[in-house]
């Protein structure tokens, strides 16, 4: 446990980048939205819901790719085992997800209290994601962070283990996989069914349940791959 | 003294190329070992396998009684400093030292700070922006201040000037005397380290050519110089590592110990017996083998 915690702390030695980039990018997106909606004075049309929130999840994904591609050779050079490095990094992803999820929740509270910053702006409290229960609301914000972090880790591990070719192979297989699936659905004329299925899923299942399953599968495959990776 | 490292029949293949070919040796505890050999001889691969960073194709490796791969209790006692070490982009020198402090149980912060002053390292600069020599100094400092029971230095001083290298040797010897540990020094600057190392391992084309105490090696070879016929007579029956001949005079480097009687005999024949430096010995041994190998393949 000691060395796992040490591996987490290894990432936190220069923690500024882990906090400032995601929030800096999110808040600048937010400010631009505030300025734009204030400028057009569009208040009567109900709710304005831009998609800027997704930027913070993308930044977290990229950050975790880099934590692996840059941190793994460094950690291995400091006699850390692959196992400790991986678990320590996963621990960081989980901790960061909870903190960031809570942070978004606080912003949403402020947004609710000010009636969308006085502009009916729903930047944090996207209606589709809104929960009545505070804990569930935090969970809805948190779980996609876990997914983004773990997906980034796995991307980094694949690069570390199989290099650029591994990353391209992964992209190729996903394109062929999703493309093939789309073709199959079109051929079977099942798009309507699929749409209904998604629409029938409660938000919690869609934003929390499935992402947790996918994140767990990613975490397991990343662990299997890193065990034979070299710096 | 007991061995901390036991390697038995280790082979590492990359496709058709054997980077290590059936290598066996052991490293005694609390001793400074020189791992010498040409570029591409297999030194780095060997150290990567000993530190669990790479995998042997076959053979057995035992470090501190266990296999190093993913072995927390073994790895916590190992420090591997390599020239090619990469550091995360945002890290400054002081961050890297913090990281080392976090992970090496024997880390001596005060010693590290002294070394930083000695090598004149800028703590606030990112490692990425350091000069080649300063980059190497970071590794040297980690290797020394970690005080790991088994420390590997793989070409630790690329870009370090002569003064800084001497500083490294001095600090290494002084700290080794106070805190004995097992040190493996891999380098091509053989003459510079020849007074430091107690045991010599020479590796060439993935095979161990020499595994002997440095003292035995130095007294175990000699260059005989003088008139060609006398040299030939004197060196007959000895294993010649190298021959040069010029206008009736010959210089032959042979292996073997020579007692006082033989030395008197040599003098009577008008021959000079010259000591062989470790570097010459390594060069002679490895080129000898390369020449033989070339002959074999051309046949």
State how far residue A230 is from chain B, nearest Cα, in angstroms: 6
Count the neighbouring beta carbons within 10 Å of the beta carbon of residue A31.
Answer: 12
Exposed e or buried b per residue across A175-194, where buried means at least 16 C-beta atoms within 10 angstroms of its C-beta: eeeeeeeeeeeeeeeeeeee
* Residue B72 to residue A84, Cβ atoms within 8 A: yes
| Structure-token pair, residue B198 | 């107690």
Please give the sequence-ordered ranges of beta strands (E in DSSP) within B173-298, or none if there are none.
182-187, 199-204, 207-213, 221-227, 239-246, 249-255, 272-275
Chain B residues touching A66 at Cβ < 8 A: 88
Q: Which residue of A has its CA nearest to B153?
A: A77
Query: Closest by alpha carbon to A130, among A140, A120, A121?
Result: A140
The conformation of residue B248, written as its DSSP 8-state character, comes to: T
Contacts of A80 in chain B (CB under 8 A): 75, 103
DSSP assignment letter at B202: E
- The tokens for B24 are 């066996």
Distance between first and last Cα of chain A? 23
Please tell me the pTM assigned to this model.
0.89
The tally of domains found in chain A comes to: 1
The model's confidence at residue A128, banded by pLDDT at 50, 70 and 90, is confident
Residue-level pLDDT at B295: 54
Angstroms from A26 CA to nearest CA on chain B: 21
Residue A92 has pLDDT above 50, yes or no: yes
- Cα–Cα distance, A190 to B211 (Å, whole number): 72
Res. A46: pLDDT tops 70: no
Asked if the Cβ–Cβ distance from A74 to B87 is below 8 Å, we say yes
Using CB atoms, pick whichever of A16, A76, A78 lies closest to residue B99: A78
Mutation target among A11, A21, A63, A78 for the B interface, most CBs of B within 10 A: A78
In chain A, what residues touch B123 (CB-CB under 8 Å)?
none
Distance from CA of A223 to the nearest CA of B (A): 13
Q: With pLDDT > 90 as the criterion, what percentage of chain A qualifies?
A: 62
In angstroms, the separation between the Cα of residue B57 and the nearest Cα of chain A is 13
Rg (chain B; Cα; Å):
22
Which tens digit of pLDDT belongs to each residue from B153-181?
A: 998 888 898 999 999 999 999 999 999 99
- A90 forms beta bridges with none
CA distance B146 to chain A (A): 10
Instruction: List Cβ neighbours of A175 (8 Å cut-off, separation of 6 or more).
Output: none
pLDDT at B299: 47
Higher-confidence residue of A153 and A46: namely A153
The CATH architecture assigned to B220-298 reads: 2-Layer Sandwich (3.30)
pLDDT at residue A90 tops 90: yes
Fold of the B3-213 domain: Rossmann fold (3.40.50)
Q: A77–B55: do the CB atoms touch at under 8 Å?
A: no
Q: What distance in Å separates the CA atoms of residue B150 and residue B176, rounded to the nearest whole number? A: 12
Test mutation, B69, B86, B124, B138, chain A, max A CBs within 10 A: B86
All residues of chain B having their beta carbon less than 8 Å from the beta carbon of residue A71 are 88
In which domain, by residue range, is A119 found? 2-226
Pairing of strands B199-204, B207-213: antiparallel
- In this prediction the ipTM stands at 0.86
Q: Summarize the confidence of residues A46-57 as an average pLDDT.
A: 81
Question: pLDDT at residue A103 above 90?
Answer: yes
- The A-side interface with B (CB below 8 A) comprises 3, 6, 9-10, 13-14, 16-17, 66, 70-71, 73-74, 76-84, 227-228, 230-231
- How many Cβ pairs closer than 8 A exist between chain A and B? 71
First to last CA, chain B: 46
Q: Where are the domains of chain B?
A: 3-213, 220-298
Q: HSE (CB half, 13 Å, CA atoms) of B281?
A: 30
Give alpha helix (H) positions in B125-227: 132-145, 162-178, 190-193, 214-219
CB contact under 8 A, B95 and A14: yes
**Chain B residues with CB-CB distance to A82 below 8 A:** 70
Asked whether the CA dihedral A19, A20, A23, A25 is positive or negative, the reply is negative
Q: Which residues of B touch A13 (CB under 8 A)?
A: 91, 95, 98-99, 102
Smallest CA–CA separation between B81 and chain A, in Å? 7
Rounded to 10 deg, the angle between the A134-187 and A191-200 helix axes is: 170
Report whether A120 contacts A126 (CB < 8 A): no
Burial of A88 (0-12, 13-18, 19+ CB in 10 A): buried
pLDDT of residue B286: 79
**Cα B47 to chain center, whole Å?**
11
Enter the tokens of residue B261: 């009687």
pLDDT digits (tens, 9 = 90+) for B12-48: 999 888 899 999 999 999 999 999 988 888 899 999 9
Residue of B nearest to A3 (CA): B103
User: Is the pLDDT at A153 greater than 60, yes or no?
Assistant: yes
| Cβ <8 Å between A10 and B82 | no
Q: Which residues of B fall within a CB distance of 8 Å from A86?
A: none
* Cβ-based contacts of A16 with chain B (< 8 Å): 90
Which pair of tokens denotes residue B6? 């036991």
Cα gap B110→A183, rounded to integer Å = 66
**A162 Cα to chain B: minimum distance (Å):** 14
Q: Which residues of A touch B95 (CB under 8 A)?
A: 13-14
According to DSSP, the β-strands at B239-246 and B249-255 are antiparallel
Other Cβ atoms less than 10 A from the Cβ of A202: the count is 9
CA distance B68 to B46: 13
Mean of all residue pLDDT scores within chain A: 90
The predicted pLDDT at position B50 comes to: 94
Regions of chain B with pLDDT less than 50: 299
For position A10, what pLDDT does the model report?
A: 93
For the residues A117-122, what does the mean pLDDT come to?
Answer: 84
Residue B249 tokens, joined:
């005079």
Q: Does A231 reside within a domain?
A: no
Judge residue A198's burial from the number of C-beta atoms within 10 Å of its C-beta, 0-12 exposed, 13-18 middle, 19 or more buried. exposed
At residue A43, the pLDDT reads 60
pLDDT reported for residue B255 = 83
């Amino acid at each position: 446990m000691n060395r796992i915690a040490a591996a987490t702390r290894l990432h936190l030695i220069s923690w500024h980048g882990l906090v400032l980039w995601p929030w800096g990018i999110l808040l600048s997106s937010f400010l631009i939205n505030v300025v734009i909606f204030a400028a057009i004075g569009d208040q009567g049309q109900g709710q304005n819901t831009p998609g800027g929130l997704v930027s913070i999840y993308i930044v977290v994904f990229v950050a975790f790719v880099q934590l692996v591609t840059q941190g793994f050779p460094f950690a291995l050079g400091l006699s850390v085992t692959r196992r400790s490095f991986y678990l320590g990094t996963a621990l960081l992803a989980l901790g960061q997800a909870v903190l960031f999820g809570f942070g978004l929740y606080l912003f949403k509270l402020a947004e609710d209290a000010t009636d969308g910053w006085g502009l009916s702006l729903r930047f944090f409290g996207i209606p589709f994601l809104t929960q009545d229960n505070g804990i569930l609301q935090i969970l809805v914000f948190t779980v996609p962070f876990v997914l983004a972090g773990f997906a980034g880790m796995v991307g980094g591990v694949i690069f570390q283990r199989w290099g650029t070719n591994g990353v391209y192979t992964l992209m190729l297989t996903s394109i062929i996989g999703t493309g093939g699936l789309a073709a199959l659905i079109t051929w079977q004329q099942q798009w309507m069914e699929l749409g209904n299925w998604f629409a029938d899923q409660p938000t919690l299942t869609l934003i929390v349940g499935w992402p947790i399953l996918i994140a767990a599968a990613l975490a397991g495959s990343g662990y299997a791959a890193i065990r034979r990776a070299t710096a | 003294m007991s061995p901390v490292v036991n390697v038995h029949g280790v082979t590492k293949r990359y496709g058709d190329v054997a980077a290590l070919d059936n290598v066996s040796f052991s490293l005694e505890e609390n001793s400074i070992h020189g791992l010498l050999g040409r570029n591409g001889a297999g030194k780095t691969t060997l150290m990567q396998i000993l530190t669990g960073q790479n995998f042997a194709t076959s053979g057995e490796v035992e470090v501190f009684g266990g296999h190093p791969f993913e072995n927390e209790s073994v790895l916590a006692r190992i420090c591997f400093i390599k020239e090619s070490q990469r550091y995360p982009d945002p890290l400054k020198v002081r961050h890297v030292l913090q990281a080392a402090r976090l992970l090496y149980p024997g880390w001596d912060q005060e010693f590290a700070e002294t070394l930083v002053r000695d090598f004149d390292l800028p703590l606030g600069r990112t490692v990425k922006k350091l000069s080649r020599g300063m980059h190497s100094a970071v590794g040297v400092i980690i290797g020394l201040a970690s005080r790991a029971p088994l420390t590997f230095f793989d070409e630790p001083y690329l870009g370090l000037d002569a003064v800084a290298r001497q500083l490294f040797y001095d600090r290494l010897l002084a700290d080794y005397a106070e805190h004995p540990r097992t040190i493996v020094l891999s380098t091509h600057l053989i003459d510079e380290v020849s007074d430091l190392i107690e045991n010599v391992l020479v590796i060439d084309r993935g095979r161990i050519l020499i595994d002997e105490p440095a003292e035995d090696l130095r007294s175990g070879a000699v260059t005989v110089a003088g008139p060609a016929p006398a040299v030939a007579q004197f060196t007959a029956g000895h294993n010649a590592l190298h021959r040069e001949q010029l206008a009736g005079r010959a210089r032959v480097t042979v292996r073997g110990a020579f007692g006082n009687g033989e030395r008197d005999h040599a003098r009577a024949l008008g021959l000079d017996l010259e000591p062989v430096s470790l570097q010459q010995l390594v060069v002679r041994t490895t080129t000898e083998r390369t020449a033989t190998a070339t002959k074999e393949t051309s046949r």
